[in-house]
Chains A and B, each alone.
Chain A
Amino acid sequence: MSEVKPDLVDVQIDGVWHQFPKGTRLIEACRQAGVEVPHYCYHPKLTSPGNCRMCLVETGMPPRPAPGAESPQPDESGHLPISWIPRPVIACANTVAPNMGVRTTGPITEGCREGVMELLLANHPLDCPICDQAGECSLQEYSVEHGKGESRFREQKVKKPKNVDVGPRVRLDDERCIMCSRCIRFTDEIADDPVLGFTDRGSHTVLTVYPGRELANNYSLNTVDICPVGALTSNDFRFQMRVWFMRQTDTIDVNCATGCNVTVFSRQNKIYRVVPRQNNDVNSDWMPDSHRLSFHWIDSDARLTEPMVKENGKHRVATWGEAIAKTVEKLTSLSGSEIAVIASARMTNEELLMVNRLVKQLGAGHVEIVPRMGEADGYLISADRNPNTNGVKLILGLEKPGSALERVKSGIEQGRIKALLCLQENLVEDGGFSGELLGKLDFLLATHPHANPTTGIADVVLPGACWAEKSGTMINVTGRLQRLNKAVDAPGETLESWEIVRDLIQALGGGNGIYSAMDLFKQLAAEVPEFKGLSWGQIGDLGLPLIETGETIPALEREKERKAAGLIVG
């Protein structure tokens, strides 16, 4: 990030000369040159102990002439000849030097890799058919690419503990462990909960959790992600689905304002797991367990799949047309000041834009969201548990979102507000509205993915899609605009919120002409000044900074410090 141009050195990688800043590790230099050096223990966000030996490469430097001998002459391109060193070095911990040569192929490197693979596999069990890592296992990949293809090991394999509970969410299989120590370093350096370590020596080395402790911190599942083999597996995902069956959708987490970048793994419209996706401006490579596992909420039994209207105190299934017509009939009989709209800061910017139009169409007197404030954990979880509070501020124009909720309550109490449109929120459980209070309303519309106390009271209940079922954009706590991508289809007749609001506006006499969230984003770019000139494609998978909020993400700040100190590559 520094503006000063760093010193560049010339390095020859596999016969081609490249330029890299001084201090670049060989493994990163090779990666930038388009050559992947196989590695297990190296992780750019962790320190490099250099203990797996998989990244050995052959290097060379210009020859140093004996005293009196002729010094080497540079060739036409200005590079000195390279004298290759017969002893390979690990690419993860060594840095580039001027006129250095690196060979990632050739008999020395390939022989080293074969040898390392053979030793790693000597005690590795033939568990692949039951191992959850199969399919995304570095050991499998590298044994295909760099292994000998057969084992010379005829002795008994070392037995180690299998199926060990090391924490509430993580399971350990020591036989599969290849002692890369990534998990140990993660718990020590990132999660500040150093409970893992190696005991015993030689081939009997085992990964253990400190006696009396367990791997229970809220970031423990990240060790499963970084484990290159199947030694650490997730209890939640264990034996649920093989990885090769699942479709991967890049989207973002909506459990707090950080908006961790995630990949959703789904098959046949069912989500099986959510894993963090690298974004060095948001969540680095990590995400909290609590957010990661919250996707189970989507599939609960309480899921609403059809619109419902209340008749004689009981809900019955209705068509969309019927439900919308009933709503519109009620709303048109009231004046704007008698209508309040409670939107949600869990909505995308596109949906909020539609809400804004609905408010204008109705001339509604009140528009508000339900705030969700908690405590920041000092890592990735933001104090604001709503993912798009910044979007609410920008699009709905609320200065302090949530501050006027009490006024809505008193309005209902005093009978000034007769109709309430509650979009994607649970007023009873999250907004602090009592059931009796809501009962005083003439009309309550509730849209939500799930049946809850609020939808129980509502006169019209509409099923709205949840985060994994819709596309859109959100603005996170640092003011970064990020994209939400649809991973699975919504069940039954569920619609996305912008579709529901669009249908309402249309039924109220407003315009239409919107067919996708992308259409809405175009209108957003045209109408909201902060979005001016942006396009859906420009946002990209990693998002882009949109506004300045002055907020930072603590885990990222620490990562920057460690990078500046040269501890990690970053």
Chain B
Amino acid sequence: MAIIVQRPKLKWWEQLYLPALVSGMRVTLGHLVATLTRKTKVTMQYPEEKWDANLPDHYRGAPALVTDEHGRERCVACQLCEFICPPRAITIKPEEIPSDDKWAKVEKRPRAFEIDMIRCIYCGLCEEVCPEQAIYLRKDYAITGTSRAEMVHDKERLYEIGGVRTGLVNKWNDLK
């Protein structure tokens, strides 16, 4: 259904366009002056000024693997993150933990764990899906590299970013 919009009836001096010009100028010049006198400051000069201190706790930066307070790598290579990952950034190669290892009772761990940060979309589904509290999105956001290979975070790098996380459920320590 067509809607007929009634055009406003303009007075003769409004039709001159000049009042509109002046009031428009007042708006733009107001902003101009406010910006020049630094009354309004919106832009952050990125490399010099950073926002890191204000990053919220739920900020979704680079995904990383964590170890717990016992030094155990949390990841058991269940590959659920690899499955859920929408851009298929995660590649995991599992292996069996050798029987002489301290954590042999966990049985399984990742032999290789790679996240392609060119593919990663920081959605956080890996963290959400992880049944082992092993992968977390950290606050690192400036992920750069000079080659594609450099942008692939391997297991070592992921643990380096992730660090130690305490206060997690340690189900493998009990009852086994």
Q: Do the two shown chains form a genuine complex with each other?
A: yes
B131 at the interface (CB under 8 A from A): yes
B55 at the interface (CB under 8 A from A): no
Instruction: Report A157 CB to chain B, min CB distance, Å.
Output: 6
Q: Which residues of A contact B108 (CB under 8 A)?
A: 129-130, 239
Instruction: Report B101 CB to chain A, min CB distance, Å.
Output: 12
Bound-state CA distance A244–B82 (Å) is 11
A316 at the interface (CB under 8 A from B): no
Determine if B83 and A244 form an interchain contact, defined as CB atoms under 8 angstroms apart: yes
**Given A126-B171, A129-B131: A242 and B79 within 8 A (CB)?**
yes
Determine if B80 and A129 form an interchain contact, defined as CB atoms under 8 angstroms apart: yes
Of A128, A238, A240, A242, most buried by chain B (CB within 10 Å of CB) is A242
Instruction: Report B72 CB to chain A, min CB distance, Å.
Output: 13
Bound-state CA distance A128–B77 (Å) is 11
Of B76, B77, B94, B106, most buried by chain A (CB within 10 Å of CB) is B94
Interface string of B72-108 (1 = CB under 8 A from A): 0000111110110000000000111000000001111
Determine if A239 and B175 form an interchain contact, defined as CB atoms under 8 angstroms apart: no
A129: which of B76, B82, B95, B175 is its contact (CB, 8 Å)? B76
Nearest B residue to A235, CB-CB: B96
B78: which of A159, A162, A242 is its contact (CB, 8 Å)? A242
A332 at the interface (CB under 8 A from B): no
Q: Which residues of B contact A163 (CB under 8 A)?
A: 107
Which residues of chain A from 139 to 184 have a CB within 8 Å of any chain B CB?
Answer: 156-157, 159, 162-163
A134 at the interface (CB under 8 A from B): yes
Determine if B131 and A239 form an interchain contact, defined as CB atoms under 8 angstroms apart: no
B116 at the interface (CB under 8 A from A): no
Instruction: Report B108 CB to chain A, min CB distance, Å.
Output: 4
A240: which of B76, B83, B94, B131 is its contact (CB, 8 Å)? B94
Bound-state CA distance A240–B93 (Å) is 8
Determine if B78 and A245 form an interchain contact, defined as CB atoms under 8 angstroms apart: no
**Given A162-B105, A163-B107, A239-B94: A128 and B131 within 8 A (CB)?**
yes
Determine if B94 and A159 form an interchain contact, defined as CB atoms under 8 angstroms apart: no
Instruction: Report B94 CB to chain A, min CB distance, Å.
Output: 5
Q: Which residues of A contact B176 (CB under 8 A)?
A: 159, 162
Interface string of A116-135 (1 = CB under 8 A from B): 00000000011011100010
Q: Which residues of A contact B154 (CB under 8 A)?
A: none
Bound-state CA distance A162–B97 (Å) is 14
Q: Which residues of B contact A242 (CB under 8 A)?
A: 78-79, 83
Q: Which residues of A contact B114 (CB under 8 A)?
A: none
B175: which of A134, A157, A245 is its contact (CB, 8 Å)? A157
Determine if A159 and B175 form an interchain contact, defined as CB atoms under 8 angstroms apart: yes
Interface string of B57-83 (1 = CB under 8 A from A): 000000000000000000011111011
B132 at the interface (CB under 8 A from A): yes
**Given A129-B132, A162-B105, A240-B94: A245 and B83 within 8 A (CB)?**
yes
Determine if B107 and A156 form an interchain contact, defined as CB atoms under 8 angstroms apart: no
Interface string of A221-263 (1 = CB under 8 A from B): 0000000000000000011101011000000000000000000
Instruction: Report A33 CB to chain B, min CB distance, Å.
Output: 35
Instruction: Report A281 CB to chain B, min CB distance, Å.
Output: 36
Determine if B175 and A156 form an interchain contact, defined as CB atoms under 8 angstroms apart: yes
Bound-state CA distance A129–B96 (Å) is 13
Q: Which residues of A contact B78 (CB under 8 A)?
A: 128-130, 134, 242
Instruction: Report A532 CB to chain B, min CB distance, Å.
Output: 48
Determine if B132 and A239 form an interchain contact, defined as CB atoms under 8 angstroms apart: no
Q: Which residues of B contact A156 (CB under 8 A)?
A: 175
Bound-state CA distance A245–B78 (Å) is 12
Determine if B175 and A130 form an interchain contact, defined as CB atoms under 8 angstroms apart: no
**Given A126-B171, A130-B76, A134-B78: A239 and B95 within 8 A (CB)?**
yes
Nearest B residue to A163, CB-CB: B107
Bound-state CA distance A163–B94 (Å) is 17
Bound-state CA distance A245–B105 (Å) is 25
Q: Which residues of A contact B79 (CB under 8 A)?
A: 242, 245
Bound-state CA distance A163–B98 (Å) is 12
Interface string of B117-140 (1 = CB under 8 A from A): 000000000000001100000000
Nearest A residue to B79, CB-CB: A242
Q: Which residues of A contact B107 (CB under 8 A)?
A: 130, 162-163, 239
Bound-state CA distance A129–B76 (Å) is 7
Instruction: Report B104 CB to chain A, min CB distance, Å.
Output: 8
Bound-state CA distance A126–B76 (Å) is 13
Determine if B96 and A238 form an interchain contact, defined as CB atoms under 8 angstroms apart: yes
**Given A157-B175, A245-B83: A130 and B106 within 8 A (CB)?**
yes
Bound-state CA distance A198–B86 (Å) is 45
Q: Which residues of A contact B131 (CB under 8 A)?
A: 128-129
Q: Which residues of A contact B94 (CB under 8 A)?
A: 239-240
Instruction: Report B171 CB to chain A, min CB distance, Å.
Output: 6
Bound-state CA distance A336–B107 (Å) is 63
Nearest A residue to B104, CB-CB: A163
Instruction: Report A154 CB to chain B, min CB distance, Å.
Output: 13
Which residues of chain A from 166 to 218 have a CB within 8 Å of any chain B CB?
Answer: none
Instruction: Report B18 CB to chain A, min CB distance, Å.
Output: 70
Which residues of chain B from 146 to 176 have a CB within 8 Å of any chain A CB?
Answer: 171, 175-176
Q: Which residues of B contact A239 (CB under 8 A)?
A: 77, 94-96, 107-108
Bound-state CA distance A242–B82 (Å) is 10
Q: Which residues of A contact B105 (CB under 8 A)?
A: 162
Nearest A residue to B78, CB-CB: A129
Bound-state CA distance A556–B82 (Å) is 42
Instruction: Report B24 CB to chain A, min CB distance, Å.
Output: 61
Instruction: Report B89 CB to chain A, min CB distance, Å.
Output: 15
Nearest B residue to A134, CB-CB: B78
Q: Which residues of B contact A129 (CB under 8 A)?
A: 76, 78, 80, 108, 131-132
Which residues of chain A from 489 to 538 have a CB within 8 Å of any chain B CB?
Answer: none
Q: Which residues of B contact A159 (CB under 8 A)?
A: 175-176
Instruction: Report B83 CB to chain A, min CB distance, Å.
Output: 6
11 contacts between A and B (CB under 8 A): A125-B175, A129-B108, A129-B131, A130-B77, A130-B107, A162-B105, A162-B107, A239-B77, A242-B78, A244-B83, A245-B82
Q: A157-B175, A242-B79 are in contact. List 11 more A-B contacts (CB 8 A).
A: A126-B171, A129-B76, A129-B132, A130-B77, A130-B107, A156-B175, A159-B176, A162-B176, A239-B96, A242-B78, A245-B82
Chain B residues with CB under 8 Å of chain A are 76-80, 82-83, 94-96, 105-108, 131-132, 171, 175-176
Chain A residues with CB under 8 Å of chain B are 125-126, 128-130, 134, 156-157, 159, 162-163, 238-240, 242, 244-245
